Structure 1
Amino acid sequence: MKELKFKSLKPLLMACLIAMLAIGCESPPEKTIVSINPNYEIASPEYSNLAAKALTELTNFQFDSWGTMLAEDVEFYFPDGDAGTRTKLSGKSNVLDWWKNWKETSGVQSMTYTDNVELPVIAKETMAYSGLTGVMVISYFSNEIVYQEGTVKLRMNFAAHFNKDNLIDRYYTYYDRSGIIEMMNKNILDSE
């Protein structure tokens, strides 16, 4: 008797299974996302490549090569404050001198630049914080900094602005510095 009930349910179960498969295999309804911001456009991938090359040079301590990608009037902003309180280095020679000195005095052994994403945009209107227009590449990446005493792993965000000669004239950096301060047992930006 149990067998008869199952046989009578078999066509119904088969129909339900076919219906579920048919419904589950349908394409989801298309969603049209319209997001137009007249102040920005996507920039050429060339800028993404330049930003990635610059960060590769920096994290490989190839400071002179990195310097060829910087404008003479470059400004480098550290992530230690807000718009009016951040530590800022101005001028290519000051930026390069700071990084070379940091390499020599920090105990750093190596850095890596991995899992990177670069987003190149063109600001057609003046951006609020920087006061700039033109091409900016927003990069986020993983950086493993190896010191003599240990390792610090960070997810970092750098925004590089390019001038009309395709040289970087601004770096805005955003990352949590607490691991670096703890590893070095001091805040090196306090002396800036």
Structure 2
Amino acid sequence: MQKLWSSKSKRSQPLPPEDEDTSSPETEGLESEDTTSAEGSLKYFSKLLKKPWSWQISLSWLFLAVGVGGVAIATILGLQYLTAPDAASDSDLACKSKISGDWQTPFGKVTLQEASENLVSGKYEYANFERGKITGEFTGKLSNNVVTFDWTETPNQQAKQQGKGILVFGEGCKEFYGSYGTGESTNNFGNWQGSRLTK
């Protein structure tokens, strides 16, 4: 192709006539090259890389790409929707008149008793090497599936201890997880869990 501006003169140059062949010898070599041998393929691709890249995408490839992308997005969203846990209804979390009875914990058996006005009391006993036999009790208030309580323990060999705690009952009120603490904290002393003992 001819230059339209020369470095010596700022006057425009005429365009080449349309009937002239404007292809370069390099592109002609690409079309006529034999690519059946490994050496021919290497020469072909090395010349192809020198040629400017053209972005000609057929309509069918465009539809294929959009279709595959759409299917992938629909699959991801569908899996998120299908595997999302259902929110538990308030009726499943309301544990009123469902928690009285015996519960098994790592410390041993705990007996819970519901009273009026959503009040809950509990009693337990366990043995500790340093403190001996310990008798504990707590009283608290039930709200849906959560009991907040104050506890006291009376060991045989040491002074009485007291604190606060919380129990959170799982769906169906058949198990609980919780923590307890000394002073005003509900979690600086330890954690516990329990499951209902079957009769």
- TM-score category by the smaller chain? 0.3 to 0.5
Structure number with higher helix proportion = 1
Give the TM-score normalised by the residue count of structure 1: 0.32
